[in-house]
Structure 1
């Protein structure tokens, strides 16, 4: 039996999976774009700070999601026996049917279960679009062939454990993060009804948005690495990783909408998406691979005094934004021309950073309007440290996302030099 015959079912299954993936990616992009497009009317502006009209935002999300899902599926794959208009029509019908059935099912549930099931709507739209496109024949692209070769070369008994670990890591990580947020974030006063609130430039001066960006990036990165270890081709693993990250963070925003203190926050969602998109862009853009989002944290005086009378237990470590700094660590050695490389050590990186001054008064616990801190630093790249053992390489790779203290120049709000800054 020829290899082509053996691989044919895998090609069909792979193409169906690709259409589903493309549809879901399109749906996410479309839904996100729909939310952003609704903000001028529903919130008074993209960068507003106010309660928003729920129906306007929901309508923007729904229309954008359906159109994006259909367009994503129609654009997937190589040369097809169906023309562009027919592909889009088939995709749109499948998206509407799949989405309609799933929405009807999810709407029968309530509370946390309903929020937990919302990603199934996007999946059902993708499956519906892929099913309607099954009547169109496709010519495999070069990317399809490369992905198939990767999967075939990856299939061996030793990979079974890697696939099991990937599945366990994804489900366990999802459950663990949910339990943490449920205890730490959603145990306060419930909102009278689910609501949407946009918030830019509040007391914490958008330091929380950098946290959302960093979270979206890391969730995408870690998920894609787990999937690649489980034999998902890297080009697809990064997209599945971005979907996983966005779906989880979208659900966090949905749950936030049930809490009086928070609300569903489109500005947080923009930062979430930016982090996931940066991870995807790195996969396809060589120059971006030399830039690494890095995090550092040192507890503030306000955090250490959080349990004193009048402080109300605030801030928590996750909201101690004044102690958090977000860096974009840049591999200068990798970016400069070859003739200049001897003059710059590969171990040393340059990192612009962002943090804020106190936004919680460490003495009274009252709110302060923080000032933005722009920083510039030299730091060390752990991945360039000596040693090539596989376990040590993995440790170095993960350490590279946490800053090693180094000399730092603070540019704003006042100019200062720190021999070591963490």
Structure 2
């Protein structure tokens, strides 16, 4: 979906802004603050303008929809993921601009909710969509997860991550779930998994000397989910019954590794957005399955 593609492109724009900012030479505080505010606010202003011209076409009066049961919550998890990482990168930019820690949290939270809300408002004026409060709640939950950690610990001890592996269900409705790898990466929820990765020893300030870069990871995904609001789908030869799947695995936190090369450490830290493929246990339909390597 073009809308999801635009959100992904803009998310990676935020990622690049954080890296560019840290690489720039030191400037006066006022100049750096102007750069931070103008680039982030410009992103929030330009987003609805771009989408209005390239994606939205069938205008309608503003209306609200309740899509809380859509896609078994996977789309809502995606909203939380986007809001979390947009705030994270915006905070990096505000810290680079020499804002205080607390102000950087508050300003970045505002940028994230403003950015995400632009999509919801535009949806509200479209016949086939509509403004979604469940989407907004999901956005706020992602912001709350990041902000709470920054206020409590001034660091990420719980990381929200993403992984993907092609599923066999996209071919059943390619117009909805994607016709190629790039589209399916964004649209096929059956192939997506979202994870919370953390080290119990870091989370609870344990005195045990155990590597903090080794993480436990709790995940969520769905299977056989072919239609957004319905959990049943059939073809002439087979029936599909959608179900949720909970996951348990291990993961790595590159930021906690003792890497002396600062440039390499910074590059590797980008991959803290992605869950490393690892053996995993899945829990679904009252059964436990072992996956030798789960992507």
TM-score clears 0.5:
yes
Select the structure of larger CA radius of gyration. 1
Distance 1:298 1:206 in 2: 18
State whether residues 161 and 273 of structure 2, in contact with CA within 8 Å, keep that contact through their aligned partners in structure 1: yes
1:322 Cα offset (Å):
1.4
Q: TM-score, normalised to structure 2's length?
A: 0.75
1:347 Cα offset (Å):
2.5
Alignment of 1:234-245 (within 5 A): 234-245=101-112
Closer, same or farther in 2 for the Cα pair 1:275/1:313, shift >3 Å? Answer: closer
Higher helix share: 1
Match of 1:312, SS? helix
Among 379, 387, 396, the residue aligned to 2:268: 396
State whether residues 210 and 271 of structure 1, in contact with CA within 8 Å, keep that contact through their aligned partners in structure 2: yes
1:400 Cα offset (Å):
1.1
Distance 1:176 1:325 in 2: 30
Question: Which structure 1 residue ranges, 5 or more long, are not aligned?
Answer: 1-155
Among 140, 145, 152, the residue aligned to 1:285: 152
Among 362, 381, 390, the residue aligned to 2:253: 381
Match of 2:72, SS? coil
State whether residues 176 and 187 of structure 2, in contact with CA within 8 Å, keep that contact through their aligned partners in structure 1: no
Match of 2:212, SS? coil
Report how many aligned residue pairs link the two structures: 259
Are 2:185 and 1:322 equivalent residues in the alignment?
A: no
Match of 2:276, SS? coil
State whether residues 359 and 367 of structure 1, in contact with CA within 8 Å, keep that contact through their aligned partners in structure 2: no
Are 2:166 and 1:166 equivalent residues in the alignment?
A: no
Distance 2:269 2:234 in 1: 40
Distance 2:52 2:191 in 1: 23
Distance 2:214 2:133 in 1: 37
Question: Which structure 2 residue ranges, 5 or more long, are not aligned?
Answer: 1-25, 228-232
Match of 1:227, SS? helix
Q: TM-score, normalised to structure 1's length?
A: 0.54
State whether residues 379 and 407 of structure 1, in contact with CA within 8 Å, keep that contact through their aligned partners in structure 2: no
1:302 Cα offset (Å):
3.9
State whether residues 195 and 257 of structure 1, in contact with CA within 8 Å, keep that contact through their aligned partners in structure 2: yes
Closer, same or farther in 2 for the Cα pair 1:272/1:236, shift >3 Å? Answer: same
Pick 1 or 2: higher relative contact order, CA cutoff 8 A, min separation 6: 2
Closer, same or farther in 2 for the Cα pair 1:197/1:274, shift >3 Å? Answer: same
Closer, same or farther in 2 for the Cα pair 1:396/1:207, shift >3 Å? Answer: same
Closer, same or farther in 2 for the Cα pair 1:360/1:181, shift >3 Å? Answer: farther
Closer, same or farther in 2 for the Cα pair 1:397/1:311, shift >3 Å? Answer: closer
Are 2:69 and 1:201 equivalent residues in the alignment?
A: yes
Q: What is the aligned partner in structure 1 of residue 56 from structure 2? A: 186
- Residue by residue over 1:324-346, the C-alpha shift from the partner in whole angstroms, topping out at 9 and shown as x without a partner, is 1110101223135645x23x432
1:386 Cα offset (Å):
4.2
Are 2:131 and 1:258 equivalent residues in the alignment?
A: no
1:252 Cα offset (Å):
1.0
- Residue by residue over 1:229-285, the C-alpha shift from the partner in whole angstroms, topping out at 9 and shown as x without a partner, is 012112101101111111121121110112222200001000111111222111112
1:359 Cα offset (Å):
1.5
